Structure 1
Amino acid sequence: MNHRIWLAALALAATFAHAQDNSAQEANVGPAAAAAERFLAAVDKGDVTGSYNEMAGASRLMVTLQQWDGAMKTVRAPLGRLESRRMVTAVPTRNLPGAPEGDYVVIQYNTRFSKLPDDQMAIETVTPMLDRDGNWHVSGYYVKQVPHRELKD
């Protein structure tokens, strides 16, 4: 086989494999978003145990239920009740800083809470991962208050 043809075939195979990998990662968005929604529903109700049970096994090993309860009282409760939430991005990835390689989807929401000033909203970042049990569970949750002008569309 001619070297150019062989290299072209190799490049085509690599491109096809990359496309399949991207397609598989994109397929993760739906199940990951469903896990994020279950988690957020529990958080919104103030169901600390329910939200904790939706967390990934590795996250539960790093944070006790009591620590999670304290975090929810410190971070989430002061924001008040949920008024609106809109998913703005869902990005599948295999690598996150400080985390082992795996299947993750980083999901961001523009969220309005009742106790935020009128000129502010929140960006909630929820990161589900495909856990060892073969199901999607949340490995990270972060809330940042921002002025309206800093929100993604």
Structure 2
Amino acid sequence: MKRLTSFLLCAMLCLAAGSALAAEGDEAAAEAAAGKWLALCDAGKYPESWREASAFFRGAITEDAWTKALTGIRTPLGPNKSRVRASIIQARQLPGAPDGAYVVLTYDSAFANKASAVETVTFMQEKDGSWRVAGYFIK
């Protein structure tokens, strides 16, 4: 199950060649949403992070499976010590996901038990214009 979860999340993050990109304001909105969503994860509020995710994300993994997967991944790392955005990429297409507006953010992060990690968070714009997480990967 852990491997399937990792595969699903990783697949959602792989970029395909994008055509038209999101507007600069959308990029800022996605980054702000990422900060709020990552704060939920940092606080151990994994069920809430699932509920705040996109419909696409919630359709790919159940709340219980997400909570178990994130607990298994994040708990050994310990508390987040720092997080600095390393890159931001916009796309219209991602493998295995519907066409739409996506923003993929990578962060250079440090945790109490892992001095150097890279977190990748993919956000998609929902029909109501809000930005919600579509994928999360940490290595």
| Same fold by TM-score greater than 0.5 | yes
- Per-residue displacement from partner, 1:112-152 (whole Å, max 9, x unpaired)? 00011xxx5100000010012321000000001xxxxxxxx
How many angstroms does 1:99 deviate by? 1.3
The aligned amino acid for 2:130 is N
Structure 2: gaps spanning 5 or more residues: 1-18
Match among 21, 41, 44 for residue 43 of structure 1: 41
* Aligned counterpart, 2:6: none
Unaligned runs of 5+ in 1: 1-17, 145-153
Preserved contact between residue 87 and residue 105 of structure 2 (Cα < 8 Å): yes
Percent identical among aligned pairs is 39
Q: Give, as a single letter, the amino acid of the residue that structure 2 aligns with 1:38.
A: K
Show CA shifts across 1:7-63 (max 9, x none): xxxxxxxxxxx9xx55x4333210100111111000000001221122101111121
> Paired residue for 2:106, among 108, 121, 124?
108
Aligned pair count reads 121
Contact 1:85 1:109 survives alignment (8 Å)? yes
For 2:81, the equivalent position in structure 1 comes to: 83
1:130 aligns with 2:121: no
Greater helix proportion: 1
TM-score of the superposed pair, with normalisation by structure 2:
0.81
Larger Rg: 1
**Superposition CA RMSD, Å:** 1.5
1: CA distance between counterparts of 2:50 and 2:43? Answer: 13
Question: Counterparts of 2:137 and 2:80 in 1: how far apart (Å)?
Answer: 15
Q: Could you tell me which residue of structure 2 aligns to residue 4 of structure 1?
A: none
